[in-house]
Chains A and B, each alone.
Chain A
Amino acid sequence: MTNSPRHFSTLARWLHWTMAVLILAMLFIGVGMVATVSHAHETLIALHRPLGVALLVLALIRAGVRLKNGSPALPSEIPAIQQFAARASHLVLYALFIAMPLIGWAMLSAGGYPITLFNAWHLPAIVPQNVDLFALLRALHTWLAFALFATILAHIAAALFHGLIRRDGVFSSMARGQR
Chain B
Amino acid sequence: MTNSKSRASRCIPCRFASIGVAALTLAGGIAYTAGWLTPSRLTAYRIIDQFQTNAGTHPGYRRNHAKGLCVEGYFDSNGNAASLSRAQVFALGRTPIIGRFAIPGSNPSAPDASVPIRSMALLFMQRDGQQWRTGMNSTPLFPVHTPEQFYQQLLAAKPDPQTGKPDPAKMKAFYAANPETRPFQEWVKTHPASSGLENSAYYSINAFRFIDATGREHAVRWSVEPETAYAPVDPREKSDPDFLSKQLDEQFKHGSVRWHLVVTVANASDPTNDATLQWPADRQRIDAGTVVLERSTPQADGVCRDVNFDPTVLPDGIKPSDDPLLAARSAAYAVSYQRRTREEALHAAPATPKSEQNAS
Question: Which residues of A line the B interface, CB within 8 A?
Answer: 24, 27-28, 31-42, 45, 111-114, 116, 119-120, 122, 124, 129, 131-132, 134-136, 138-139, 149, 152-153, 156-157, 160-161, 164-165
Contact = CB atoms under 8 A, between A and B. Distances in A.
A42 B19 contact: no
29 contacts: A28-B30, A28-B33, A37-B42, A37-B43, A37-B327, A37-B331, A38-B327, A39-B322, A40-B327, A41-B330, A42-B320, A42-B326, A111-B341, A113-B308, A114-B131, A114-B313, A119-B316, A122-B130, A124-B129, A131-B305, A132-B344, A134-B306, A138-B342, A153-B23, A156-B22, A156-B23, A157-B22, A160-B19, A165-B16
Nearest to A165: B15
Contacts of A114: 129-131, 313
Contacts of B346: 135
B335 A34 contact: yes
Contacts, number: 123
A41 B147 CA distance: 13
Nearest to B132: A114
Chain A CB within 10 Å, residue with most, of B29, B44, B331: B331
B45 A35 contact: yes
A103 to B, nearest CB: 14
A160 B22 contact: yes
Interface residues of B, number: 50
Contacts of A40: 327
Given A32-B33, A36-B331, A42-B330, A153 B129 contact: no
Q: What is the predominant secondary structure among interface residues of chain A facing chain B?
A: helix
A36 to B, nearest CB: 7
B77 to A, nearest CB: 17
Contacts of B45: 35
B243 interface: no
A38 B330 contact: no
A27 B27 CA distance: 11
Contacts of B322: 39
A40 B312 CA distance: 13
B78 to A, nearest CB: 22
A37 to B, nearest CB: 4
